[in-house]
Each structure stands twice: as structure tokens, then as C-alpha cells.
Structure 1
Amino acid sequence: MSIQNRHFKVLPMVAPKGQAKEIPTLVKNQALVEQRRRQIVDAAVNLFIQNGFHKTTTRQIAQAAGISIGSLYEYIATKEDVLYLVCDAIHAEIEHGVAEALERAKKGNNPLAEVIREYFLVCHQMSDHILLIYQETQSLPDKWRRVVLENEIRITGIFTRVLANLMAVGALPRIASRQLDLVAHTISVLGHMWTFRRWFLANHYSIDEYIAFQTQNILGMCRENAQ
């Protein structure tokens, strides 16, 4: 099952981006490289979730992707490259969901509430994938680990921009820039909290109740820290 079909609707899976072009390949046709790497990502993500990164072999990934082990190594150099592509693809899906929420907000909905809702729903629907990133990022080489963390910061930056725009038009009270960043990171972490604590939270709250409660908390933070 591919990422885009795992419990939630998005457009066809966004191709891994970030520094993916720096991953060595023996194939010159870039379109083919992207196509094959999508196959590899879709195959690897479920294997990593089910078995863990270290217990999954490249031969298993190749078999699940429907290609030979020799062909696999034409598109990646190491298993760590595959893990990076998986993390990058998951971040791309999350970023796509938040971007869709911003588009909907242009039609008159509350931008902050819409973005929070979409982001929390993506975290809910991709809980296994987000846990995978947190559990296995330490297995990445330093170069790729830095890029994964940069992706997290980029997504948090979307929340910062939404908050800043709302303050600029008077839809939210103004707060200091340091506090603005803290609110943005709070949104990011609260989405992840549903993932990490779903074993408890899901037994006591629906995702809609959780979203409503935390949205009010976030708005309250902004009001309480108004300048």
C-alpha cells in the first residue's frame, strides 16, 4: 500500500524532494529515477513500520517494490538512502496537506483553525509514518539527518507565517516574535502528541474533540501573550 493510500486522501504522492538528487544513481533518465524511487519508497515505508529499519533488508525492499536487488542499487546506494527518501516523502505529504488547508482558508474559513485542523488530521492519519521518522532518524547519516530536521522546521514555518499574517490584518492579537515561534512549534508538537499518546488519547477523545480543544488552547496562548 502506498503512502498516499494509507488512510488519507491526497493527490498522487509528491516525489521525494529535499536533497534527494544528491543520492547517487546510475540512471540518467530523471523521470525514471523519480518513478522507481517512488516504488522503492512505497515498498519500504510499510516494511520499516512493520519490521523496523534495521530488521528490513534491501532484498526485502526490492522484492516488495517488484524490482531486482541489482536494479534497486541503480537508484540508491545504501539502505540509509532509502530511509531518507521515506522520511522526505512523508514530510512532503504533510506539507501538501497543510498547503491544501491554506487554499481552502482563502475561501473564507479561519486560516489558523483550518491549518491546525488539517495538520492534526494528517498527524492522526499518518501516525505510524510520523513515529517511524522519530524512531529511525537516528539511523541516518548526519547529512540526511540535518535535512530531515530542516523539513520539520520548514513545516513549522508555515504555522509561523499564518500566525504572522493573521496578526498583520488584526485577526489575532500581536505577540513578540520569540513567542510567535513558540506558538508555531507548539502547534507542531501538539500534532505529534496525538501520534505519541494515541494509545491513551484515542480511548478518551475523538480526533475532532482533540482538535477543538487544542485549537482553543492555541488561540488562548495568543490572547494571553498579546502586547
Structure 2
Amino acid sequence: MKKKQVPSMVKDQQLIKKRRNQIAKAAVQLFNEKGYHRTTTREVAQESGFSIGTLYEYIGSKEDILYLVCDAVYDQVVEKWAQLMDENLSGIERLKQVIESYFRVVDDMQDEVLVMYQESKSLSGEALNYVLQKELNMKTMFEKELNNCIDAGFISLTKEELDLACHNILVSGHMWTFRRWVVQRDYDIDRFCKLQLRQLFDGFGLKDASNKQPELGS
């Protein structure tokens, strides 16, 4: 996975990191309000507290701003996620805690997550491939936890089912921000986590097991 090189006229790496964090934070707010395409680089500069000339000392194009946002958001999600995980847990309790921690990170960073998923499609080539690979890395984290439970005999999933289960977990977390206009009206994050975990692990609670389930296509 090759990281895109964003050009900078500044040589001080610490200053570059600080200024790009300011740019990304400002961009998230503007992209949430107006969308990526309707936001100008001048507006990002103003929101960052820079002149437009100063902004271009740290980036080469408007797309660089979106790339910096997506890259930073993924890194922050993974970092916060790791901080919430309890390494003393194992088995199903560990799996549940990993999933719940992911949901809570999405809650904490819902504006950033919303921008990342709505606007990353505007990236091109190398930048888009890099961001998509980071998304797959998050899926891999769930694969690891599910495989541990499979190996221990706690759950039973085929490879095909495991792949889909990882996508379901990711999208279940996205729901908290993508449909927050209605979901957050009806649930708080604690209730959301509890019910999502119940559905992920127990399904819809089919009452009559004698009812023949529909055949799945091959």
C-alpha cells in the first residue's frame, strides 16, 4: 500500500504535521456543511486561519486536502479503537468488546467518518487506492477476531460467511452516522451498541425453528 506524497514547500516535518492537522480539521467542518465540491480552497484556508498562499505551502491541490482528511480519519479511528480495546478479554467477550469499541469510535468521530465515506469517491488513482486499502485493513481486524473465535469453537462460519460478517459489522457502525437523523433520535449510543450486538450475534430471533428456511442460491 503506497502512501501518496503530498507536496510541501516547508521542510520542518513537525510544522507540516501541525498545519496539515489544522487544514484537515477545518476541511471536515466545511465538507460536512457544503460538501467537497462546493467548498473552495480559499474557504479551507480561512477556516484554518491561513492565507490562501500559506495553505498552498502545505498542499499541491484541493484533492490533497481531501486525501489528508481521509488518511487522518482512518489513522485516528484505528488509534482510538486500540485505546478502547481490553486486551484482558478473550473469546466471545473479546469479540463483542472489539465490535462495541468500533461503534463507540464512530460515535466519537461521526462528522469525520461521514465526510470520509461520502467524499472519498472524489479521490483519484493512487490516493483512492490507498484510502480503499485502509478500509480493507479495518475489515482485516474483524477477520482476525472472528477467526480466533472460530478456531476456539465458539462460532461457525464459512470463509464466504466470514467475509460478509466483517462487512456487516463495518456497515452496522456506519449506520450510526449515515442515518443519525433518525437513529440518534430513537437511540443513545449505549442502546445502539446493545441492540446491534444482539442482532449481529443472535439474528432476528426466529421463534419457530420448524419453519423451513428459504434455500440460498449456490
Quickly name the TM-score band, shorter chain normalised. 0.7 to 0.9
Q: How does 1:206-225 map to 2 (within 5 A)?
A: 206-220=188-202
Superposition map of 1:186-197 within 5 A: 186-197=168-179
Match in the other structure for 1:162: 145
Aligned residue for 2:38, secondary structure, equals coil
Which of residues 63, 66, 89 is equivalent to 1:108?
A: 89
* Residues 16-41 of structure 1: CA deviation (Å, up to 9, x unaligned): x9725x11122233222212211211
Unpaired runs of at least 5, structure 1: 1-16, 222-227
Native 8 Å contact 2:31 2:115 kept in 1 = yes
Q: Identity percentage over the alignment? A: 41
Query: Do the aligned partners of residues 68 and 204 (structure 1) sit closer, same or farther apart at CA in structure 2, a change above 3 Å counting?
Result: closer
Do the aligned partners of 2:28 and 2:111 also contact (CA within 8 Å) in 1? Answer: no
- 1:38 aligned partner: 21
2:212 maps to none
Q: Which one of 153, 166, 181 corresponds to residue 199 of structure 1? A: 181
The runs of 4+ residues in structure 1 deviating greater than 6 Å are none
TM-score by length of 1: 0.80
Distance in 2 (alpha carbons) for counterparts of 1:80 and 1:115: 33
Q: Which has the larger radius of gyration?
A: 2
**1:122-161 paired onto structure 2 within 5 Å:** 122-161=105-144
**Would you say the 8 A contact 1:18–1:88 is kept in 2?**
no
TM-score, with length taken from structure 2: 0.83
Q: CA deviation at 1:190?
A: 0.6
Partner of 1:19: 3
Report the counterpart of residue 5 of structure 1 in structure 2: none
